[in-house]
C-alpha cells in the first residue's frame, strides 16, 4: 500500500476535495488541519490507501 506525506500530497492534488470530503470539505481545509498537526508537534503525517486514478481530476 502506498504511503504519502500528507501535506505534500494535498498540495499537489488537483481534486478540490482531496481528503475526507465529508470531514474537511475543500482540500484547503484538510491542508490547514495537517499544518495544525505539525504545529502541535507531529513529526510526520501520512495518508495511506489512496486510490489514485491518473488524470481523474485534471483541471
Domain spans of the chain, in order of start? 3-48
* C-alpha grid cell, residue 22: 465529508
**Looking at per-residue confidence, does 55 or 48 come out higher?**
48
- Please report the pLDDT score of residue 9 as a whole number: 94
Pick from 34, 37, 17: which is nearest to 25 by CA? 17
Q: Tens digit of pLDDT for each residue in 16-48?
A: 998 888 889 999 999 999 999 999 999 999 999
- Please report the pLDDT score of residue 52 as a whole number: 64
CA dihedral sign, ordered 19, 25, 31, 36: negative
Amino acid at each position: 500500500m502506498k504511503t504519502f506525506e500528507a501535506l505534500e500530497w494535498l498540495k499537489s492534488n488537483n481534486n478540490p476535495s482531496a481528503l475526507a470530503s465529508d470531514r474537511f470539505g475543500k482540500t484547503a481545509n484538510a491542508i490547514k488541519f495537517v499544518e495544525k498537526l505539525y504545529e502541535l508537534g507531529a513529526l510526520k503525517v501520512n495518508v495511506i490507501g489512496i486510490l489514485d486514478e491518473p488524470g481523474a481530476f485534471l483541471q
